Structure 1
Amino acid sequence: MARRLPSSPPSLPGFSYIRVLGSGGFADVFLYEQNMPRRQVAVKVMLSEVVNDQVRAMFQAEANLMAQLSTHPSILTVYQASVSADGRPYLVMELCSASLGERYRREALPVAEVLRIGIKIASAVETAHRAGVLHRDIKPSNILTTAYANPVLSDFGIAATLGESDSTEAIGLSIPWSAPEVLNDETSGTVASEVWSLGATVYSLLSGRSPFELPGGANRSADLISRINRARPQPIGRPDVPARLEAALQRAMAKRPDARPRSALEFIRELQAVEQEIGVSQTPVEVAMDEWAIATVVDVEDRTRVRGIVAVNPEGAPPRRKRRPSGVAAAPAVDYSPVGTMLRQNSSTRPTGGGTRPDPVRRPTLLSWVLVGVAVLAIICGAIATLIAIRSTTTQQLPRVNTITALQTQGSVVFSWNDPGLEDGDRYQVSTGGAPSLQQAPRFTAAGQRGDEVCITVTVVRQGTRGTPSSEKCVEF
């Protein structure tokens, strides 16, 4: 089948066209230079033949979502979205390399590198799921690489949006990386189907081919769909791929959605366990949490810290008593101006000798300032005590995990516990001695070797506030 020629690049205000970067089934990507600020950018422009009013409206909604999600370090950054003068919607994006989508078919990628990529991309998918967004087109060619060698997920929601339109059939569907229930039109996408696609993508990066592709065999769309529905993925066939990783990918691509990891985060935990098994540094989870978004503005611990004393206009403060010598009339009323200005005396005077003279203004004594400081300090201490008491009361009200059980298998242990009564938005903070992790599932898998001891505690977190930790549960391998 002949490959189509790229469409003509649109004229975009503030951008200068340079060259074509690539073409897809529904869009072309061009290299432009942005005039201010000056930088090179990738501009994805939809083809005019797939555009209608409905697609434009859906494109704009998806572009807004993608722009919000692109703050994630593993999601492609979107700078701008608009419609060109000839009516084609376009996205202005960070310039990245698509070399990964070609490289995995040419060479065997190191297992540690694939694990790192898988965890970072799954972190982006988990963050999107928590924002209520499905990608629905996870595959190796949609993983780009930034100038700093960081993998990022692209085409967030755009391909799926087009796939739901009436413009063409299955335009957003990538068969080799689509779950059986999606291919059978049972659903347009779920968390479980995204986990399947994540597993298929990691499998592809390791094997150099999609999971149900037969080298030298029949690999038409109908052949792939038949195998995805009936067969199991063949072993990857690399001696450096651990059996534990093979098993994790098989679980992720299980035929039944309920047999797969329940979330992208659970899939991440399995990949991290493999990292620990092969002795490489664990790739951190990068998942945005609603409760920690609050802590970003005001750190949880900072709520009880004193940030300084704000100067107050004395007109709003109660009058201070002044000491005066006996036999001296009371000083006239004084008009207090704001801090930093001089004190002005009223027109009242008192006799002195044969005439009149203004009554001298007494400056505050050192003792006065000491008393004010003590009073302010007492107020601050009272506020701190109140905040601590409130926080303590809140902590006592949060549910607590009471009993943790452990099921040990060869090379790993699964800790589990009963739901103590979580509410919407609550999370479990699991601490294992290193950096704590947050999750929704009431279980945690850890890897270990003979002679190791793994200990965990579980704490309920609600809107940035941590409850009482559970008792520590330890297992020896």
Structure 2
Amino acid sequence: MSGPQIPGYTYLEHLGRGGFADVYLYEQEWPRQRVAVKVVRPDVPLTDREKSLFTAEANAMAQLSDHPYIVSVITAGVTDAASGGRPYLVMRYCPPPDLGVRVRTAPMQVADAIATGVKLASAVETAHRAGIIHRDIKPSNVLVTTYSEPALSDFGIAGHVTDIAGESEVRISYPWSPPELLDGRSNGSVASDVYSLGATIWNLLTGRSPFAIPGGDNSPRGLTARILHAPPPLTQRPDVPASLERVLQQCLAKQPEHRPQSALELARALQRIEAEAGYARTAIAVEGDRPAPGVVAPLGDDPDTTHVKPMTVIPSSGPRAARIESGPAATEPTRRSTVVWAVTGTAVLAVVGVLLAVNLAGGDDAEAPTTRPSVSSTPLDVAPEAPTRAPTVTGTRAGEQVTFTWRSPDAGQTGDSWEWKRTDTGEGRRTTETTLEVASPDRTCLQVRLIRGSYASPWAEDCVD
């Protein structure tokens, strides 16, 4: 598979394929360097939605590219008409594999996993302070630089905190999404990113996602049921401190308000575990308070002390919270806001080059507040109005164009929406539409379910050869 012609770049090889883009290795002619180029695939319809997502990804990553643990964008553009006029991003490159592949067969040592967690939490906190919710934090989106540092990538479904409440479609990445994204309570929040970050750290220790069962039912339906109803699991590693197990369980709490209330809070909890275990302390790379030039810190101040000050208020619950609160199935308010705090140390952090790769497949702290509610393991009750029947999904092919339509006798109530997932590519989305058109010459399979408030119908599936 050859990449498109891009002036100033020489194609070298194809690196991988994601949900809607291919990633290629190019050599930039001047200054000469190898770069990763992410290009929207020709079989993906360039709707206004896709163009908007790609533009948002470029802007988000450019805004955050100075951070040492976030992949940096070099430039962006659109290929010429001969190459289909496809949007592309040029990013710093380092050879794969991504962190998810690395730990699949060789999970990290505890000290390394905690240090990586602090660094990733720094990146996520920085994004949140800029008003950006990532919404797709997972091991395959954590890359590794030539200096062995983690780099958060793929802001393709990120959203700005002021915009996500009005979205009618939400892409979901199994099995790293929290319950409130799976059951429709939220379009993404600070709390949902904290959940995904905790699941990623859990994966670094185990090589699998928290609710995956080796040899068990790890289909989207099976994973969703466990994410919604099963208690947060332990890593069951004897060398993992009990305080770290508690922090990860808090991150995986069913209710957003039971989790650490910011990525910074999680980073600081991980730092305390480092101190408790006697590990080297990992600095938090988030800009915050620091003495003005020429000002001497008060006597007794540790030069590596974390200083805090209140920053931007970012909502912690999703856009559907108001509807759930006022609806008949509501049991408690779910809309809340999180005050994001800024931190810094005086240690100098070297800005390193970052890489881009693509996932081809589609791991507590003794001083934690004692008032934080414990996570209930009781399954959610099904309200009488919850959809109980699987929808009917029908797919038809016309050449390389496949059209899926779906319906359900349970549909029709105010606020109903649909969630679909392509099992051949792993792409998923929530929508109010009942038709999906995709360009695919190969066998294409689609799963669909009806979403109503906090409940979902069983999945239905159809495949087109």
Query: Structure 1 length as normaliser, TM-score?
Result: 0.60
Aligned equivalents of 1:28, 1:257: Cα separation in 2:
34
The alignment status of 1:12 with 2:6, answered yes or no, reads yes
Offset at residue 438 of structure 1 (A): 2.6
Contact 1:18 1:30 (C-alpha < 8 Å) held by counterparts:
yes
Given the superposition, is the C-alpha separation of residues 300 and 441 from structure 1 closer, same or farther in structure 2, using an over 3 Å criterion? closer
2:15 aligned with 1:21:
yes
Change (3 A) 1:103 1:149: same
Report the equivalent of 2:221: 222
2:31 counterpart of 1:31: no
- Retained in 2: the 8 A contact 1:160–1:173? no
Aligned partners of 1:201 and 1:210 also within 8 Å: yes
**Shift in Å, 1:87:** 1.7
1:68 lines up with 2:63 in the alignment: yes
**What amino acid maps onto 2:232 in structure 1?**
P
Letter in 2 for 1:436: T
SS in 1 for 2:133: coil
Cα 1:60–1:228, aligned 2, differ >3 Å: closer, same or farther?
same
Q: Which residue number in structure 2 is paired with residue 83 of structure 1?
A: 78
1:42 paired residue number: 36
Partner SS state of residue 42, structure 1: strand
Between structure 1 and structure 2, the one with the greater Rg is: 1
Unmatched segments (≥5 aa) in structure 1: 1-5, 293-298, 305-428, 443-460, 465-477
Q: How many residues align?
A: 307
Whether the 8 Å contact between 1:100 and 1:141 is mirrored in structure 2 is: yes
Deviation beyond 4 Å, 4+ runs, structure 1: none
Cα distance in structure 2, aligned partners of 1:228 and 1:142? 20
SS of the equivalent of 1:109 reads coil
| RMSD over aligned Cα atoms | 3.2
In 2, the alpha carbon distance for the partners of 1:247 and 1:21 equals 38
Q: After superposition, where does 1:229-240 map in structure 2 within 5 Å?
A: 229-240=228-239
Q: Is 1:139 aligned to 2:138, yes or no?
A: yes
Q: How far apart in 2 are the matches of 1:34 and 1:270? A: 42
Q: Distance in 1 between matches of 2:301 and 2:175?
A: 38
Structure 1's 252 and 11: CA in aligned 2 closer, same or farther, altered over 3 A?
same
Aligned amino acid, residue 63 of structure 2: Q
Contact map agreement 1:175 1:183 (CA 8 A) in 2: no
SS class of match (2:157): helix
8 Å contact 1:74–1:121 — kept in the other structure?
yes
Provide, for residues 310-340 of structure 1, a one-character-per-residue CA deviation record: whole Å limited to 9, x for no partner: xxxxxxxxxxxxxxxxxxxxxxxxxxxxxxx
Residue 208 of structure 1 corresponds to 207
**Matches of residues 9-408 of structure 1 in structure 2 within 5 Å?**
9-48=3-42, 49-85=44-80, 86-96=84-94, 97-156=96-155, 158-160=156-158, 172-289=171-288, 300-302=292-294
CA shift, 1:62, in A, is 3.1
State the distance in 2 between where 1:238 and 1:58 align. Answer: 39
Q: What amino acid is aligned across from residue 58 of structure 2 in structure 1?
A: A
Q: 2:306 aligns with which of 437, 440, 443?
A: 437
1:280-339 per-residue CA deviation (whole Å, 9 max, x = no partner) reads 1110000023x66xxxxxx823599xxxxxxxxxxxxxxxxxxxxxxxxxxxxxxxxxxx
Instruction: Tell me the CA shift for residue 127 of structure 1.
Output: 0.5
Residues in 2 aligned to 1:18 and 1:248: alpha-carbon distance in whole angstroms: 44
For the 8 Å contact 1:100–1:143, the answer to whether it is kept is yes
Question: Helix, strand or coil for the counterpart of 2:25?
Answer: strand
Give distance in 1, aligned partners of 2:254 and 2:10.
48
1:66 is aligned with what amino acid? M
Cα drift, residue 58 of structure 1? 3.9
Q: Relative to 1, partners in 2 of residues 1:256 and 1:433: Cα closer, same or farther, differing over 3 Å?
A: same
- How many Å separate the matches in 2 of 1:53 and 1:174? 21
- Contact 1:98-1:143 at 8 Å conserved across structures: no
The offset of 1:232, in angstroms, is 1.4
Residue type of the partner of 2:293? E
Q: Give me the whole-angstrom Cα distance separating, in 2, the residues matched to 1:223 and 1:253.
A: 17
Tell me the SS of whatever aligns to 1:301: coil
CA distance in 1, matches of 2:52, 2:130: 20
> Are 2:232 and 2:253, in contact at CA under 8 Å, matched by a contact in 1?
no
CA apart distance, 1:24: 1.1
Q: What amino acid sits opposite 2:157 in the alignment?
A: A
Instruction: Please tell me the residue identity of whatever aligns with 1:90.
Output: Y
C-alpha distance in structure 2 between counterparts of 1:247 and 1:183, whole Å: 23
CA distance in 1, matches of 2:255, 2:285: 28
Aligned equivalents of 2:108 and 2:191: distance in 1? 26
Whole-Å separation in 2 of the counterparts to 1:128 and 1:117: 17
* Distance (whole Å) between structure 2 residues aligned to residue 197 and residue 57 of structure 1: 24
Q: Aligned equivalents of 1:301 and 1:36: distance in 2?
A: 38
